[in-house]
Chain A
Amino acid sequence: MTLLGQTVAVAGKDLRIEARGRYALGAVLPFAGTLLVAFGLSLGPGRTLLQQTAPGLLWLAVLFASILAFRQAYQAEGEDGAIEGLLLSPIDKAAVFLGKAAAVTLELLVMEAAVVPIVAAMFALSLGDAPLVLVGAFVLGTIGLAAVGSLFGVLVESPRAREAVFPLLILPLATPVLVAGVKATELAATGRGGQAGSWLSLLVAFDLVVLGVGTLVFGHLLED
Chain B
Amino acid sequence: MSSAERMMALLTARRGERILAGLALTSLAASAILSLVVSPPDAEQGNLIRLMYVHVPAAWVAYLAFAVVFVSSIAYLVTKRTRWDRLAAASAEIGVVFTALTIVLGSIWAKPVWGTWWTWDPRLTTTAILLLIYVGYLAVRRLPDSPARRARWAAVVGIVGFVDVPIVHLSVRWWRSLHQAPARLLGVPDVSPIMGAALGIGFLAFTLTYVYLMAVRLRVGRLEERAVAEALSPRVGQPVEVLMEEPARG
User: Does the CB pair B144–A169 fall under 8 Å?
Assistant: no
Contact with A along B141-183 (1 / 0, CB 8 A): 0111110110011011101110110011011101100100000
Q: How far is the CA of A105 from the CA of B161 in the complex (A)?
A: 21
Q: A214: shortest Cβ distance to chain B, in Å?
A: 7
Which listed residue (B139, B159, B168, B170) contacts A168, Cβ 8 A? B139
Instruction: Evaluate contact between B171 and A223: CB separation under 8 angstroms.
Output: no
Does residue B21 face the partner (Cβ distance < 8 Å to A)?
Answer: no
Closest Cβ of chain A: how far from B202's Cβ, in Å? Answer: 29
User: Which partner residue on chain B sits nearest A206 by CB separation?
Assistant: B167
Q: Is B133 an interface position by the 8 A CB rule?
A: yes
Q: Is residue B104 within 8 Å, beta carbon to beta carbon, of the partner chain?
A: no
Q: How far is the CA of A209 from the CA of B164 in the complex (A)?
A: 8
Q: Whole-angstrom distance between the alpha carbons of A169 and B145 in the complex?
A: 19
Residue of B nearest to A186 (CB): B178
* B135: A residues at CB distance < 8 A: 168
Least distance between B234 CB and chain A CB atoms (Å)? 25
Contact A169 B140 (CB under 8 A): yes
Q: Shortest CB–CB separation between residue B120 and chain A, in angstroms?
A: 11
Are B153 and A179 neighbours in the complex by a CB distance under 8 Å?
no
Q: Is B132 an interface residue (CB 8 A)?
A: yes
Q: Is the CB of A161 within 8 A of B143?
A: yes
Residue A152 interfacial (CB < 8 Å):
yes
- A155 in complex: contacting residue of B140, B146, B170, B178, CB < 8 Å: B140
Contact B171 A202 (CB under 8 A): yes
Within the complex, which residue of B133, B139, B167 is in contact with A202, where a contact is CB–CB below 8 Å? B167
Q: How close is B210's CB to chain A, nearest CB, in angstroms?
A: 23
Q: Does A19 reach chain B (CB closer than 8 Å)?
A: no
The contact of A160 among B143, B164, B172, by CB within 8 Å, is B143
Q: Which residue of B lies closest to A168 (CB)?
A: B136
Q: Is B171's CB under 8 angstroms from A179's CB?
A: yes
Interface residues on B, range: 20 to 34
Q: Does B19 contact A (CB under 8 A)?
A: no
Decide: A183 near B129, CB < 8 A? Known: A173-B160, A213-B159, A217-B159. Answer: no
> A199's contact among B159, B160, B174, by CB below 8 Å, is which?
B174
CB atoms of A176 and B153 under 8 A apart: no
- Interface 1/0 per residue, B100-125 and A, CB below 8 Å: 00000000000000000000000000
Chain A residues touching B, majority SS: helix
Q: Mark A197-217, 1 if CB is under 8 A from B, else 0.
A: 011001001100110011001
A residues near B161, Cβ cutoff 8 Å = 173
Q: Is A20 an interface residue (CB 8 A)?
A: no
Chain B residues with CB under 8 Å of A221's CB are 152-153, 156
Complex Cα–Cα for A224 and B161 (A): 23
Q: Which residues of A contact B163 (CB under 8 A)?
A: 209, 213
Residues of A within 8 A of B136 (CB): 165, 168-169, 172-173
B30 at the A interface (CB under 8 A)? no
State A183–B178 Cα separation when bound (angstroms): 9
The interface residues of chain B lying within 8 Å CB-to-CB of A213 are: 159-160, 163
Q: B156, A176: Cβ atoms under 8 Å?
A: no
- 25 A-B contacts, Cβ less than 8 Å apart? A158-B144, A165-B140, A169-B133, A169-B139, A169-B157, A172-B132, A173-B136, A179-B171, A179-B174, A179-B175, A183-B178, A199-B174, A202-B167, A202-B171, A202-B174, A209-B164, A210-B160, A210-B164, A213-B159, A213-B163, A217-B77, A220-B152, A220-B156, A221-B153, A224-B149
19 extra interface residue pairs, beta carbon distance < 8 Å, beyond A172-B133, A198-B174: A152-B157, A158-B144, A160-B142, A160-B143, A162-B139, A165-B140, A165-B142, A173-B160, A173-B164, A175-B168, A179-B171, A179-B172, A183-B174, A202-B174, A209-B167, A213-B160, A218-B156, A220-B152, A224-B146
Residues of A within 8 A of B (CB): 148, 151-152, 154-155, 158-162, 164-165, 168-169, 171-173, 175-176, 179-180, 183, 198-199, 202, 205-206, 209-210, 213-214, 217-218, 220-221, 223-224
